[in-house]
Amino acid sequence: DTRQQALFIIFGGTGDLAKRKLYPSLFELYEKGFLKENFAVIGTARRPWTDEYFQEVVRKSVTVEGTSKEDADEFAQHFYYQSHNVNDTEHYVTLQKLAQRLDEKYSIGGNRLFYLAMSPRFFGTIAEHLKSQKIVTDNGYNRLIIEKPFGHDLPSARELNDSIGRYFAEDSVFRIDHYLGKEMIQNIAAVRFGNNLFRALWNNRYIDNIQITLSEALGVEERAGYYETAGALRDMVQNHILQIVSLLTMNMPASFTESDIRREKIYALKALQVYTPEQVEENFVRAQYAGTSGLKGYRQEEQIADDSKTETFVAGKLFVESENFSGVPIYIRTGKRLAKKTTRIDIVFKDVPKNIFGPEKLGKNILTIIVEPEGEIYLQMNVKKIGQNFGLQVQKLDLLQSENDDSPVPEAYEKLILDALRGDATNFTHWEEVAYSWKFVDAIRTAWDKKEGPLVEYTSGSMGPHEADDLLAHDGHKWVFSA
């Protein structure tokens, strides 16, 4: 039976993430039959909402064109609201009673998912109270799903982890990195380990360099307050980009299971070369977006300091010093207000050792995995130009185009929530992955924090400052993707 029985308790139930991602994802799972009678959701937050109002919010957040009103109504009836101050023990007593009542009403059997969609500074106290006030059950599973940021450096992440770890074992902690729920990110393993062709070439003997681009067209929008304390390095590199790096460079796991996959990912992240301040200077670039006629520059945005040194763009070169990847430069870049929203990976293969067709240079073999806006995979190859003479031309072999596939792509959150319901943590970040990622990122942050003076600026709508191009040009390379 694929049907799940669970009580969700969502801390931060009135928040943006809950409305934009969690409720719609739960609704999809409901529509697909994974959740049916035996589930309930308690939303908690400080605001004094009623169940009726909460249900109205839920109905609105799941309703799009074509949504059945009846289904949305039925679904929303499983939602309950409790106004909650996370520091007030009394409130957990009430929460415990409500949870117990719903568990019985919906015959849930003690399975609980605690979703912490709020500031991490409350994670420890929530975990403690869940335990002390017996909101964790002993007749079902108890899983904690947590959202980033997981600390702002290694020491704070460790502290946070310890504060949770006192009450929840590692195997019941599900750290969300929503990139791991994206269809094309999950495709990396399929392409790498399902095809002998790529398996054979996936190493420093054949790969020249790897390029990872996570570019966004939007600015900081409403999240300026948070972003100002994070910056692109912590916001996108520490988690999403390093996760992609680990998936691209990990060794083949012994089996396609949670523990074996995570073991190899941890190993890949452990092998990241941690830079000295001089190496940071050489290998990493940071910048901020400048204003244009229509758009504000980063330092002119609301809630941002006039002299802010928070980077909205990062580009860098890094190395995974493992047997198969040692020596392969991995170029990464991410930023706000860039030319377009795209997430892509370009694997650039080495030139053929001898070009018998010369003197013209051959095109490169490049495997491109486009994650967004549409899932696509291309392989760039050299083929003969049609005609009397013998000449070569570069063509793209189109390996997969989600447009041509009718199956709807599930939203990342929907996949991840179902995984958590099933107890499969493969696509969640293990603590050791978090720790090695911070170790790498902290070395960069520390070097940057010591530097005086304003940051380099880049034009909104560009692909970042020229320094990001120089980084590759210096090695005789260039970005495969340019806007």
Whether residue 405 is annotated as binding a ligand: the answer is no
Shortest reach from residue 267's CB to ligand BG6, in Å: 25
Report the distance separating Cα 276 and Cα 322, nearest Å.
Answer: 19
Rg (C-alpha) for the chain, rounded Å, is 24
Whether residue 32 is annotated as binding a ligand: the answer is no
Report the distance separating Cα 169 and Cα 145, nearest Å.
Answer: 12
Whether residue 105 is annotated as binding a ligand: the answer is no
Q: Please tell me whether residue 414 binds ligand BG6 under the rule CB under 6 A.
A: no
Shortest reach from residue 315's CB to ligand BG6, in Å: 17
Q: Which is nearer to ligand BG6, 143 or 178 (CB)?
A: 178
Residue at 1: amino acid letter: D
> What does the block give as tokens for 57?
């919010």
Whether residue 46 is annotated as binding a ligand: the answer is yes
The site map against ligand BG6 for 330-369 (x = CB under 6 A) is -------------x--------------------------
Contact indicator for 248, 414 with CB cutoff of 8 Å = no
Q: Say how many residues touch ligand BG6, by CB under 6 A.
A: 4
> Omega into 454 within 30° of 0, i.e. cis?
no
Q: Which is nearer to ligand BG6, 216 or 346 (CB)?
A: 216
Shortest reach from residue 333's CB to ligand BG6, in Å: 14
Whether residue 14 is annotated as binding a ligand: the answer is yes
Q: Is the dihedral of CA 236, 419, 77, 103 positive or negative?
A: negative
Whether residue 137 is annotated as binding a ligand: the answer is no
Q: Residue 110: how many CB atoms within 10 A of its CB?
A: 17
Q: Which is nearer to ligand BG6, 234 or 364 (CB)?
A: 234
Report the distance separating Cα 481 and Cα 483, nearest Å.
Answer: 7
Q: Residue 154: how many CB atoms within 10 A of its CB?
A: 17
Q: Which residues pair with 112 in a beta bridge?
A: 7, 142
Shortest reach from residue 126's CB to ligand BG6, in Å: 21
Task: Using DSSP, state whether 207 is helix, strand or coil.
Answer: strand
Whether residue 13 is annotated as binding a ligand: the answer is yes
Q: Please tell me whether residue 216 binds ligand BG6 under the rule CB under 6 A.
A: yes
Q: Is the dihedral of CA 363, 364, 365, 366 positive or negative?
A: negative
**Contacting residues for 210 by C-beta, under 8 A, at least 6 apart:** 248, 328, 329, 330, 331, 345, 346, 347, 348
Contact indicator for 261, 247 with CB cutoff of 8 Å = no
Whether residue 66 is annotated as binding a ligand: the answer is no
Report the distance separating Cα 21 and Cα 27, nearest Å.
Answer: 10
Per DSSP, 403 falls in state: G
Binding ligand BG6 (rule: CB under 6 A), the pick from 28, 103, 208, 235 is 235
Q: Which is nearer to ligand BG6, 235 or 376 (CB)?
A: 235
Shortest reach from residue 178's CB to ligand BG6, in Å: 6
Q: Which is nearer to ligand BG6, 343 or 460 (CB)?
A: 343
Report which residue's Cβ sits closest to ligand BG6.
235
Q: Residue 30: how many CB atoms within 10 A of its CB?
A: 18
> What does the block give as tokens for 5?
């029985």
Shortest reach from residue 409's CB to ligand BG6, in Å: 13
Catalytic residue among 78, 129, 152, 240: 240
Q: Catalytic site residue 129? A: no
Q: Which is nearer to ligand BG6, 343 or 368 (CB)?
A: 343
- Block residue for tokens 């801390």: 11
Binding-site residues for NADP(+): 12-19, 46, 148
Question: Which stretches of the chain bind ligand BG6, using CB under 6 A?
Answer: 178, 216, 235, 343
Positions marked catalytic: 240
Q: Binding-site residues, please?
A: 12-19, 46, 148, 178, 182, 216, 235, 336, 341
The binding site for substrate consists of 178, 182, 216, 235, 336, 341
